[in-house]
Amino acid sequence: SNCGDWRRGAAILRETVARHPADVGLHLTLTDHAPLSPARGLTHGGRLPALSRLLPRALARGLPAAAVRDELRAQLDAFEDLWSAPPDYIDGHQHVHLLPTVREAVVDELRRRYPGGRVWVRDCVEPAPRCVKRGVSVPKALFISQLGRGLQRLGREAGLPMNEGFSGLHEFAAGRPFRARMQAFLSGLGARPLVHVHPGRVDAALLACDSLTAPREAELIYLAGDDFATDLAAEGLRLARFAELIAHTGRASSAPSANSGSIR
């Protein structure tokens, strides 16, 4: 919501969702873009820092909690101003919602602002055996999963709705066709799985705000084509909104796994 595309595109997205219901969430952004709040102690030259600066500072417990909280609230305000409703979920650009200080702010704000578990949170924890078996960007998948354990613990304690099972992480390098990667991501999923994708069209607006470009079009071609439907059917899967997954599993918070731990 701190990107100009949100202000320009929210009305179009609303029309699309009215025809094709889908969850629409806040992609919390704490890197590279301009903040919506003063974000004192967090910005550099009026912009949010690169992930290469934010990550080590977060792991050292050095992020300014008040600035993180205020920026989260400002982005939620901006979302609601145009959407006239809370987001269905919250996740993070470059997975920043998993980071120490950020994860506490996310959980606290959701409990304060949306009581009763109205907004679900992306849980990026995936058991190590699944990551290894898929064989796609295994070090990245294991790192993100371990990083996510703190948020998973806080989310469970707060009773927040969360997915159970997370796949889709890869390096975006040319080589292995995206379909082959996606077939791996669709295998061996958890009870309430979320698959992470980045479809899109490359235009001037995207080039101006994001370095991830061409791989988005490859993902879009696959996801909009017949091969995706074929691969879903082969695994006995179908697309669903989060509320359907909750109804199917009969619970909102993800169940504890045998392989537990956290980066705190």
| Token pair in block for residue 42 | 């967090």
The three-state DSSP-derived secondary structure of 10-24 is HHHHHHHHHHCCCCC
Residue-level pLDDT at 174: 64
Which range is least confidently modeled, 36-40, 177-181, 244-248? Answer: 244-248
CA distance 196 to 176: 17
Q: Where are the domains of the chain?
A: 1-122, 123-253
**Count of Cβ atoms closer than 10 Å to residue 80 Cβ:** 15
Domain 1-122 has CATH 3.20.20.370: yes
Arithmetic mean of pLDDT, 167-196: 90
**Which residues face 121 on adjacent strands?**
90, 162
- Tens of pLDDT, residue by residue over 70-88, are 999 999 999 999 999 999 9
If you average pLDDT over every residue of the chain, what do you get? 90
Residue 207 confidence (pLDDT) above 60? no
Question: Predicted confidence band at 213 (pLDDT cuts at 50, 70, 90)?
Answer: low
- pLDDT tier for residue 253 given thresholds of 50, 70 and 90: low
Indicate whether 255 pLDDT > 90: no
Residue 208 pLDDT class (50, 70, 90 cuts): low
DSSP 154: H
